Amino acid sequence: MHLSAFDRLFWATGFIGQIILLVVLMARDRVRAFPLFTAMVASSFLSTFVMYFVYLYGSPESYYYGYWIVGTINMLLQLGMVYEIASCLFAPLGHWAQDAKSSFIRIVGISILVDIILTALCSPVKSTLMQTVVTRGTFFCSALMSELFVGLFVLAATGGFPWKTHVGRIAQGLGAYSFVGVLFDTTTSWMGWTHQASTIHALSMVKVVAYLGALTYWIVSLWYDAPEPRTLSEPMRAQIFGLHRQLEYDLGKIRGWRKI
Amino acid sequence: MSNLSFTIAVVFFLAALGILLMRHSRRVRRAANSDWEQLLDRLEPVNRSDIERIARDALDEESSALGEMDGSSMFSMLGGLQGLEVLERNCQVLIDLASYVQRWYPEALVVSEQLRLNARELEWHVGRLKGAAQTGNLQTAFADYAQRTVVIYYVMTRNVLELYTRASLPGLIQLEAAL
């Protein structure tokens, strides 16, 4: 299959961007904090490498199956990443805040339901079943990620959870890229591969640019450290933990009241 | 034709997500960028002595029951549902005050998380009262939920003040005056 110089440039830029992001994650010791995000970047790096050669030297069928295998792995890792982001945001004390857990499960359920309805409505003007499946599949992933990103953000804002620096940046990059994905799939659902292949290709370049933008955003924001916090003195720390116990006691008493 | 309905559905979908993002990002930005004075300015005036009286009525009781004060007197002291909505809005400011401390002293997280949960609980009680107001049962529900709401608010204000006192943070006098 043929690749233009422009296509090769984009492919190579993505590949280099993923290497740089992996190096940043390891050099700045972010792997421990974000293992699933690191796994997703590593998986994207490997798939970019493998799929390039499959595209050049393999058959269209092998590329199609490769695309779906890679896409499925990527989708699962992205879902894992959403869970990782949620765990960082909504478990400030090391365990999930009670009010956030049920809301998060509700958000996931509603998102999947809305996504299924939207995907069922999607009937792209494509010539083959394969192209229809590809459009619907990628739309499903992008729409789900967009919904989950907005859901996490809304939950953090309404629940009063701090939108922490690095977690927030990872979520924002993923959310922005997913939004572009939804726009791309919706626009191209009106186009047929036979007559408008070049337009679809040009639009897919916009999606690639959005991905490169997200990569750059992650590289820069994960390179820098979060603002250095101050530390409490030992007696002050003991006092604050004492205050916490007092709070728990007061609230336990209030919750135990009943009207007689 | 069905592709048109899909496109319209996606436009609505993206618009809904966009509106949600904009609405909530305003709140996140406000909480993150507010300085001390701006936070205090957001606190709405409440009748502190009435709040204390209602809270003390319950807190001073030794038994496991709520205090002696009846729903109608609490209703007039608090200014009805509107009065409780003021407490609800002030609660958000209390969370932001706790987050403000946490920005500088992350180890105070355990207290600010507890305050966040208190505020959620208070929101829940006010939500129940709003629901009761819509069904015309506000007077009955008021006795059940209003005192708990006031006590949670009172405990929160005391604890935010204590947090600031113990951490020897600046601005305590202004905070005491505002609360």
- Nearest chain B residue to A121 by CA: give it: B6
Q: Do residue B9 and residue A156 have CB atoms under 8 angstroms apart?
A: no
Closest CA–CA distance from residue A233 to any residue of chain B (Å): 9
- Nearest chain B residue to A239 by CA: give it: B166
Segments making up each domain of chain B, as ranges? 1-33, 35-178
- Nearest chain A residue to B27 by CA: give it: A157
pLDDT for res A194: 65
Q: In this predicted structure, which of A29-43, A69-83, B45-59, B89-103 has the lowest mean pLDDT?
A: B89-103
Asked if the C-beta of B162 comes within 8 angstroms of chain A's C-beta atoms, the answer is yes
Q: Which residues on A lie below 8 Å from B104 (Cβ)?
A: 229-230
Angle A14-A19-A20 from CA coordinates, rounded to 5°: 95
pLDDT for res A259: 42
User: What are the 10-residue block averages of pLDDT along chain A, 260 residues in total?
Assistant: 80 92 93 93 91 86 86 88 88 73 89 92 74 82 92 83 79 92 86 72 89 95 72 54 57 48
Asked if the C-beta of B122 comes within 8 angstroms of chain A's C-beta atoms, the answer is no
pLDDT for res A127: 62
What integer is the mean pLDDT of B149-172? 72
Closest CA–CA distance from residue B45 to any residue of chain A (Å): 22
Closest CA–CA distance from residue A49 to any residue of chain B (Å): 33
Per-residue burial over A147-180, b = 16 or more CB atoms within 10 Å of its CB, e = otherwise: bbbbbbbbbbbbbbbbbbebbbbbbbbbbbbbbb
Asked if the C-beta of B40 comes within 8 angstroms of chain A's C-beta atoms, the answer is no
Expressed in percent and rounded to 5, the helix, strand and coil fractions of chain B are 85, 0, 15
Asked if the C-beta of B33 comes within 8 angstroms of chain A's C-beta atoms, the answer is no
Q: Do residue A156 and residue B27 have CB atoms under 8 angstroms apart?
A: no
Interface ipTM above 0.85: no
Which DSSP state fits B65? B
* Residue B25 pLDDT class (50, 70, 90 cuts): confident
Residues 6+ apart with CB under 8 A from B136: none
For residue B49, pLDDT beyond 50: yes
Q: Which residues on A lie below 8 Å from B117 (Cβ)?
A: 97-99
pLDDT for res A257: 47
pLDDT for res A213: 95
pLDDT for res B178: 63
Fill in the amino acid letter for A95.
H
- Nearest chain B residue to A168 by CA: give it: B28
Q: Which residues on B lie below 8 Å from A117 (Cβ)?
A: 9
Q: Which residues on B lie below 8 Å from A230 (Cβ)?
A: 104-105
Asked if the C-beta of B169 comes within 8 angstroms of chain A's C-beta atoms, the answer is no
Q: How far apart are CA A199 and CA B141, in angstroms?
A: 62
What is the DSSP track for A35-94? HHHHHHHHHHHHHHHHHHHHHHHS-HHHHHHHHHHHHHHHHHHHHHHHHHHHHHHH-TTS
Packed helices A98-121 and B2-33: angle between N→C axes, nearest 10 degrees: 150
* Residue B92 pLDDT class (50, 70, 90 cuts): confident
Q: Do residue B95 and residue A160 have CB atoms under 8 angstroms apart?
A: yes
Q: Do residue A257 and residue B99 have CB atoms under 8 angstroms apart?
A: no
- Residue B167, classed as helix, strand or coil, is coil
Q: Do residue A243 and residue B105 have CB atoms under 8 angstroms apart?
A: no
Q: Do residue A232 and residue B108 have CB atoms under 8 angstroms apart?
A: yes
Sign of CA dihedral A91, A175, A192, B5: positive
Q: Which residue has the higher pLDDT, B79 or B61?
A: B79
Q: How far apart are CA A79 and CA A145, in angstroms?
A: 8
Query: CA of A135: how far to CAs of A46, B32, B156, in Å?
Result: 23, 39, 52
